[in-house]
A and B are shown apart, each in its own frame.
Chain A
Amino acid sequence: MKEIAVTLLGEKDHGKSTLIGNMLIATGSATKERVAEAKRAGGAGFEPAFVLDSFTYERKRGMTLDTTRAQINFKDAIISFIDVPGHLELINNALGGASGAEIAIVMVSAKEGEGFQKQTKRHIFIANMLGMRGIFIAVNKMDALGYRRERFDRIKDEISGYMEEIGFEGHIEFIPVSAYGNENIITKSKKMGWYGGGPLVGRIYDFFSAIGSAQTGEGTRMVVQDTMELGGKDAAMGMLYYGRIRVGDRVRIEPSGREAVIGRIHSNGKETKSTSAVRNIAVEFDGDAGRLERGDILYGKDERPWQKGRFTALIYMTGKPKQGSGLTLRFNNTDFRANRLEITRFSDATSAWKESKAGQRLKANTAFEGEVTLDKDPPVEKFSKYRELGRFSIYSDNDFCGFGIVR
């Protein structure tokens, strides 16, 4: 079974809930009870989005909660939409889901007066930063334009121009759809003969099948999460994100650079001689490996981290840091304080990068590139190569206010 994690982005009212509602119905992925109940509650004013909404009470009171999850069965795949943002425009709601996704659908309504908007530009900017492997632009509400191609072409040009401006290099596709009318969603629409490509869900499925969810980094990387005493010695528990570990392997513990030999391996509740990524495992060492700490990373003995404690980062602020409380960067649930941040350029995430002036301050809805110096020297890797070791969320006084990646 393939599992495809998708994030659905786009401006409020451009048709995200309608799309999911109709996909759930058309693929038979929603229970009959749920569909019947939604139809009953909606009466003459039924909308496909009702299938997605939580329950009658929510709808009757006009309350829409902010996020939800939906799973669609398509061929031999489950397409999971995580944290679908609802009517709240706060990007924070979408980030949880988006950060776990490999593919993004961005809804852009082609309807007069809607079109390619500021908020959508931000979403695309963020999807690009998160390293989405494919971005599918669903140009929606084509029915409202008589399914003609002119506005589709114009929106495609506009978005392509913007992508170039922000330096997008990934895979992008444009698909004209009607979420409401179910055109070009699951099956190819007969109303837009001028469009040569496949329907949205089919295109995502084919694209994902072709690329797979491959890991990019080489070598061994295990992030220590915690330790636990086992038979008088500390076992290190954590995620083996890359590579393979065998009993007898000599590993290097960063940031200290100490070496140690693997004595025993526990993987999925069993002892084993050898195990491979991605897995949450525990290892015991032969002899004395010294104290291990949360956030330490085990490398193959001849491997070295990309940087330690100081690196070039790309960060995106969703909120403004609190005055005087500094920034905390959380890597794999381990916190570090940013001692210095030298910003070199910035962007409002709706237009190209600009050189920064001296004394540039952090502000909300803005992206920054610069040099970060932490209070300690944890090993970090380039996000483009070892995703899990090159990304962090940002907090100010315990409140989430942004995220970043190591360049």
Chain B
Amino acid sequence: MMMQDIDKLENRSIYIMREARSKFKNLAALWSMGKDSTAMLAVARKAFFGKVPFPVIHIDNGIDFPESYKFREEVAKKWNLDLIVAESQIKKELSGFSCCGANKTVALKKLMKERGFDALIVSIRRDEHSIRAKEKYFSPRSGEFKWNYKAQPTEMWDNYTSALDKGSHMRIHPLLDWNEIDIWNYTKREKIPVNPLYYSETGQRYRSLGCTHCTTSVKSNAKNLDQIIRELEGTKKEERGGREQDKEKEYIMERLRSLGYM
């Protein structure tokens, strides 16, 4: 796995977040308590003099891991976060992506409307999934959350678009350039709190976190950050391998739908 210069990455992310705060009146960020969005909050604290200057949203379907809830309370308190918990429903008849995807989307749409957020910071990385490689730093989404993939704004020389059509909002991706291993190197260097689910206790750990219904663990003996980093240096496996296959398919189908392909 390819390790990049984390100072450079951090600088770019700070630039993007400062740009987001400057361009949008009502900015918020999504926080899943996972490694990426937690690292994003750590960068935000650096960008804004120790304080995260925007509300942080957890879309909670009530079936996240107990460890995650505990982690949420600890970090929110430690970093003095303006935390918004948006309750999302679980529907029995749905599973996989339609369960944690569709329902979370409904909850988020409702919240966005109520609070009038015009921009959302989302901690996706290009190396996470090949569909992500096509993302931009500032990416407009329609009121229906559609990603008009074909008409993406050209981002030359870090000049981003901030123009929005009525009812739409901007997705901002400050971690787009980071790789999985960079996140861990940064987490280690900056001593960022880590959700304990990433560590192995009984020969298994999580590489990527969803809710209890669709996340599965991977074989691993990594019990601390150094061991995670060492493990990733040698890995030839995809990060999302820990998610169930059929659910991974649904995920892709859902992305394609949002691209307007089906």
Contacts and interface: CB of A to CB of B under 8 A. Distances in A.
B2 A78 contact: yes
Contacts of B150: 66
Interface residues of B, number: 50
A144 to B, nearest CB: 30
A143 B35 CA distance: 47
A393 B134 contact: no
Interface in A37-54: 53-54
B155 A96 contact: yes
B238 A333 contact: no
Interface in B147-173: 149-150, 153-161, 163
B261 A393 contact: no
Interface stretch (B11-19, B55-63, B198-206, B215-223): B11-19
B4 A78 contact: yes
B133 interface: yes
B256 interface: yes
A31 B238 contact: yes
B237 A33 contact: yes
A226 B22 contact: yes
Contacts of A168: none
Nearest to A226: B22
A307 interface: no
A284 to B, nearest CB: 10
Contact of B238 (A34, A71, A78): A34
A216 interface: no
Contacts of B2: 29, 71, 73, 78
A66 B155 contact: no
Contacts of B22: 225-226, 294
Interface in B1-44: 2-5, 7-8, 10-11, 14-15, 18-19, 21-23
Nearest to A67: B134
B241 A268 contact: no
Contacts of B236: 31-33
B85 interface: no
Nearest to B22: A226
A352 interface: no
A214 interface: no
Contacts of A63: 261
A92 B156 CA distance: 9
Contacts of B15: 225, 239, 280
Interface in A352-407: 388, 391-393, 398, 400, 403
A3 B4 contact: yes
A225 B130 contact: no
A95 interface: yes
Interface string B223-262: 0000000000000111001000000000011001001010
B50 to A, nearest CB: 7
A278 B156 contact: no
B117 to A, nearest CB: 19
A279 B4 CA distance: 16
Contacts, number: 120
B158 to A, nearest CB: 7
B163 A65 contact: no
Contacts of B79: none
Interface in A310-340: 318, 330, 332-333
Nearest to B7: A268
Nearest to B42: A269
Contacts of A31: 236-238
B133 A69 contact: yes
B69 interface: no
Interface string A46-87: 000000011101000101011111010100001000000000
A330 to B, nearest CB: 5
Interface in B116-156: 126-127, 130-131, 133-134, 136, 149-150, 153-156
Contacts of B253: 57
B188 interface: no
A279 B11 contact: yes
Given A96-B155, A280-B18, A398 B4 contact: no
A393 B156 contact: yes
B238 A282 contact: no
Nearest to A387: B157
Contacts of A99: 156-157
B65 interface: no
Contacts of B179: 71
A266 interface: yes
Contact of B133 (A68, A95, A96): A68
A65 B203 CA distance: 39
A237 interface: yes
A228 interface: yes
B134 to A, nearest CB: 6
A33 B238 contact: yes
Given A33-B236, A225-B22, A69 B261 contact: no
Contact of A33 (B7, B18, B47, B241): B241
A174 to B, nearest CB: 28
The 6 lowest CB-CB distance pairs between A and B, nearest first, are A269-B46, A226-B22, A54-B130, A398-B163, A99-B156, A68-B133
23 contacts: A3-B8, A31-B236, A33-B237, A34-B238, A54-B133, A65-B134, A65-B259, A68-B130, A68-B133, A93-B154, A95-B156, A96-B155, A96-B156, A99-B156, A99-B157, A238-B18, A266-B49, A269-B45, A332-B158, A333-B19, A333-B158, A333-B159, A393-B156
Given A32-B236, A66-B134, A269-B46, 20 more contacts: A1-B4, A55-B131, A55-B252, A57-B252, A61-B261, A68-B134, A71-B2, A71-B127, A95-B154, A96-B156, A99-B157, A226-B19, A226-B22, A269-B50, A332-B158, A333-B159, A388-B157, A398-B163, A400-B154, A400-B156
Interface of A: 1, 3, 29, 31-34, 53-55, 57, 61, 63, 65-69, 71, 73, 78, 92-93, 95-96, 99-100, 225-226, 228, 230, 235, 237-239, 266, 268-269, 278-280, 282, 294, 318, 330, 332-333, 388, 391-393, 398, 400, 403
